[in-house]
Amino acid sequence: MKIIMLGAPGAGKGTQAKMIAEKYHVPHISTGDIFRANIKEGTALGVEAKTYMDQGLLVPDELTVKILLDRVAKPDCAEGYVLDGFPRTIPQAQVLDEALEKLGEHIDFCIDVEVPDEHIVKRMSGRRACLKCGATYHVEHVPPKKEDQCDICGSQLVLREDDRPETVENRLKVYHEQTQPLIEFYQKKGVLKTVDGTAEVQDVFAAIAKILG
């Protein structure tokens, strides 16, 4: 079962990907994690990717797909995998499709976790983080016992730059321009399934599990 997770930043697709991986005993594959692992291990692909990253450039699609295919060729992916964070654009999806086709494989499901923009801005701007111990909170859903103070180590909680409304709005703009077209791309292939990401985490997962069977 090969699954792609789609959804805007903050839609909760990463959380759902982890839950799918756990229930169906398949690896949760995040491109960021694979890049870091290849760079750390000093593989040929990792060294090549690092030359782009060190210059602040995006890693080319062909190289990203090569690194991804190297990962999914590992024995733990024999029963499938959940891709989180890739593809992000139509060209990436096309390169991935071509590469899988050569292996006689294809994507079985593309799950779109749908959440309106205003909901995401509210959700992310409510996050608070402890920079000392890494604990995270939400002013509405998981508030600390004392306002702006970490329950674990007592340090001051902060609103991270990534979670500021203006930053979130910029990230959403990029998502709508570059990644949202993938919804139609996978719809045409007949593998797209949409779930309501505004529901409770467990309810979203129940809807996904019903699709996957």
Catalytic (active-site) positions: 13, 88, 127, 160, 171
**Distance between CA atoms of residues 24 and 178, nearest Å:** 30
Closest CA to 147 of 162, 121, 166, 126: 126
**Distance between CA atoms of residues 24 and 112, nearest Å:** 18
Closest CA to 15 of 109, 107, 82, 69: 82
Closest CA to 16 of 90, 85, 107: 85
The number of beta carbons lying within 10 Å of the beta carbon of residue 93 is 23
Buried b (16+ CB within 10 A) or exposed e, 153-164: eeeebebeeebe
